[in-house]
Structure 1
């Protein structure tokens, strides 16, 4: 209540592009202060065996992760632990540095509890981020979100080589990879969500995996509004190239379609560049999760993302088929106690359903 009625209105007077590094950097700084950091962590973290998830040999203390996009350059690893998350995802990281699209990068749709995101894969580049992370000892598992540099000449084989560069650079860092196929804010759209180009990319990723002897699981991040025929083809390629999971989903990139998901469409201008996150994505991403889970009978593991604000939102996606959940926008709108509230609610929902661990709820609609 204090956050919603006192702190948030003050923060919203500051442009979103300005406030993000202040809040993230401030949270990271507080996390490192003796006594204060651990005290905050002890309050926000919900440590209960019923919430623990083991997936691909990785131990997640709870199923709620901080999704890629919050910590693009690996600066805020302790932030996620302090505020109760069970894991985080760094990036997306690109082969070369890119300063991002022209500002604004973020627009708030306050009534809709949504954001329009247009960073355009802003990144300090693989080598610099690797140098920052190589000696870190994080509290939580974290993934590396891999993307290609957003330059007009980084297409085709150059783009594939850019993905592979990031993949190889982080061979010893991170618990898993996410290959970001679906950023809607790049110069050439999202060509690697097309099955034929994806096949070429995965062939090279598979070669690189063999070359560096990597056993880390790989997820692909897809859009929520892909046609079912394309989703089916992506699933087939996942099986063919031993891709263990999908992150469902990224932002809604179809501007006209995005407007139909908003409760207050007048707040949104379809001419704004970027993709839509927040409550508007909740239904369409859950439908996509459900489709993939039922299609694969759980053989492809799913990280559910999109429109998660409450424990009920998270549980809905888990019961639709997600093994883990990621969020950013819900945390931005609901404040630092968001993950604590979600995890406490999950415990109540598990008890209501007579379950002893969150993994038992996966796909059990």
Structure 2
């Protein structure tokens, strides 16, 4: 065979192989194949610096480069929280879509609700880079973003545009934060309530991020009392008041959590729900990743048991009368089920979305549906607060 003929055949082989690979990749990508994302696409994206990868993921969702999932939520997953109807209890936590760019795309991936933010009144750049770190061996993330935000006006405009388009009827939560240099933090939250109440389904008072100096001090009972009193005054004056959730840190002591639960039982300090929990500043000795000692909030699998235990405590301290959205280390239906049994009426993902990709949403829902059925529950609401097994309790006691 002549060399020219050989090279022509070689080129043809390369072309056919490349085309076949492209078709296979494209097919797997568009059908949200779990194995494809976990073994090929996610490792490829992880070659990018962590914040670059985050930005790319937001853009993919913003431009809806993934098709809507074909999975239909079974009736058993339909639920409600604070009179907000959810097609399923699995939401995306604040921190992924900080500026309301990708709400519609995220909803099409199967999330029952989308929480955006944290949003600050004035635009701010956040902390210096690098400020996001993967802990691959631990399936965790450390971030110290510091409320990088486009500001109230820009984010409000995007939500208004989406609502006005008439093509989106999903549930939107707006997570509110304060500006780093604010001289009146209470006013920052109050202004957010006034602006976003007409276009959001619920609002979140975030006083638990570890990346804004002094923010977590607002969880102390006297400061919190002052904040929530003003929040309630504002809410009562609004034409379209929406449910208000308080997002808490997982690093609170039991006594601090007890004080908070006592505070929110006061009429002038009531909230409609709690989100448990934010990221942790705790660093377990079991962490294996080289980035484990970076400063910032840790999310992902290492937070799972800690947040679940806190949900159970808060559920008991509030007599099960304050709805809870559970977050922290959820990567499977079992993780979601455990948080529901502990007292969560709905749950949120973030880190597992980073490590497993969009298929994790359907995976969690399918597994949760199966677990509810196996254990004799006809709905998510029936399982809320029903308690975790003795075996799980012994695991908590061993580690904590």
Work out whether the TM-score is over 0.5: yes
> Does the residue aligned with 1:97 lie in a helix, a strand or coil?
coil
CA distance in 1, matches of 2:221, 2:278: 17
Moved more, 204-213 or 286-295: 204-213
* Residues 59-108 of structure 1: per-residue CA shift (max 9 Å, x gap): 10000000100111111111221211100101111111110100112100
* Residues 98-139 of structure 1: per-residue CA shift (max 9 Å, x gap): 101001121000000000011101111111211121131333
Match of 1:238 in 2: 264
Give the superposition deviation at 1:302. 0.4
Match of 2:62 in 1: 28
Match of 1:34 in 2: none
CA distance in 2, matches of 1:102, 1:248: 27
Match of 2:53 in 1: 19
Match of 1:259 in 2: 284
Asked if structure 2 preserves the Cα contact closer than 8 Å seen for 1:52 and 1:62, the reply is: yes
> Does the residue aligned with 1:185 lie in a helix, a strand or coil?
coil
CA distance in 2, matches of 1:143, 1:12: 28
TM-score by length of 2: 0.84
RMSD, aligned α-carbons: 1.4
Match of 2:18 in 1: none
Size of the aligned set, in residue pairs, is 347
Q: Aligned match of 1:148 in 167, 171, 178?
A: 178
> Does the residue aligned with 2:233 lie in a helix, a strand or coil?
helix
Q: Aligned match of 1:62 in 79, 83, 88?
A: 88
CA distance in 1, matches of 2:240, 2:253: 32
C-alpha spacing 1:170/1:225, structure 2 compared with 1 (3 Å): same
Superposed, 1:333-344 pairs within 5 Å as: 333-344=355-366
Structure with the greater alpha carbon radius of gyration: 2
Asked if structure 2 preserves the Cα contact closer than 8 Å seen for 1:46 and 1:340, the reply is: no
Asked if structure 2 preserves the Cα contact closer than 8 Å seen for 1:126 and 1:166, the reply is: yes
Asked if structure 1 preserves the Cα contact closer than 8 Å seen for 2:207 and 2:215, the reply is: no
* Residues 273-310 of structure 1: per-residue CA shift (max 9 Å, x gap): 21100001001000000111122221111000000010
CA distance in 2, matches of 1:71, 1:27: 9
**Structure 1, unpaired ranges of 5+:** 32-36
Asked if structure 1 preserves the Cα contact closer than 8 Å seen for 2:116 and 2:175, the reply is: yes
Give the superposition deviation at 1:354. 1.1
Asked if structure 1 preserves the Cα contact closer than 8 Å seen for 2:78 and 2:380, the reply is: yes
Match of 1:100 in 2: 126
Structure 1 ranges of 4+ moved more than 6 A: none
CA distance in 2, matches of 1:258, 1:140: 36
Give the superposition deviation at 1:159. 1.1
> Does the residue aligned with 2:85 lie in a helix, a strand or coil?
strand
Q: Aligned match of 1:312 in 334, 338, 347?
A: 334
CA distance in 1, matches of 2:172, 2:215: 27
> Does the residue aligned with 2:200 lie in a helix, a strand or coil?
coil
**Structure 2, unpaired ranges of 5+:** 1-34, 388-400
Matched, 1:77 2:118: no
Give the superposition deviation at 1:166. 1.2
CA distance in 2, matches of 1:135, 1:128: 11
Give the superposition deviation at 1:228. 1.2
CA distance in 1, matches of 2:175, 2:338: 25
Give the superposition deviation at 1:214. 4.0
CA distance in 2, matches of 1:81, 1:338: 14
Q: Aligned match of 2:322 in 293, 296, 300?
A: 300
